[in-house]
Amino acid sequence: TLDGTVTVTTSGSVTVNTPGTYTITYSATDAAGNKTTATRTVTVTDTTKPTITIEGDSLVSHYKGVAYTDAGATAVDTLDGDISGQLTTANNVDVNSIGTYWFSYNVKDSNGNSADTRMRIVNIVESPEPTLTTGLVAYWPLDVVQGSKTPELVNGYDMELTNLSAEDVVEG
């Protein structure tokens, strides 16, 4: 006679977040003691690309002649976690020539998935001229040698500049 539906048991498991090859075995036994087994091989692969996030602005202006230090980036993978330390960079930034340049980042996870390349555009621009700011301009008669000086705003006298300062946004 036919048993109809029989119970099937399984052994083995699949860890869906861990790439690898897994074997699942199915077994069934009928009322007469007839047993059968079947196996299934399950391959879990990681096909998810890591994600790169650029720190700061993706478009920056930088002064000609000044060393450029990039703001950096971070990289995260769904299985590997933080892989920022594995980022690779490439760039064609020439701080001695005015122009538009790029600074790029890429990374691969432990399963060989490459992230989409992220780029920062770096515009090298001429640095502005230094600015000069004067404070009070005071004039003293040439014959005042002793005592307190009282400023007189008259032509033909000595000139003293006070609170004079200069500012340059580029070092060097």
State yes or no: pLDDT of 112 exceeds 50: yes
Residue 137 CA to residue 150 CA, distance in Å, equals 12
> What pTM was computed for the model?
0.62
Say which residue, 167 or 84, is predicted with more confidence.
Answer: 84
For residues 89 and 104, the answer to whether their CB atoms sit within 8 Å is yes
Least confident of 25-34, 53-62, 86-95: 25-34
β 59-63/118-125 pair status: parallel
The helix (run of H) or strand (run of E) holding residue 166 is strand 165-167
Beta strands across the sheet bearing 35-44: 8-11, 20-29, 35-44
Give bridge partners of residue 131 from the DSSP assignment: 167
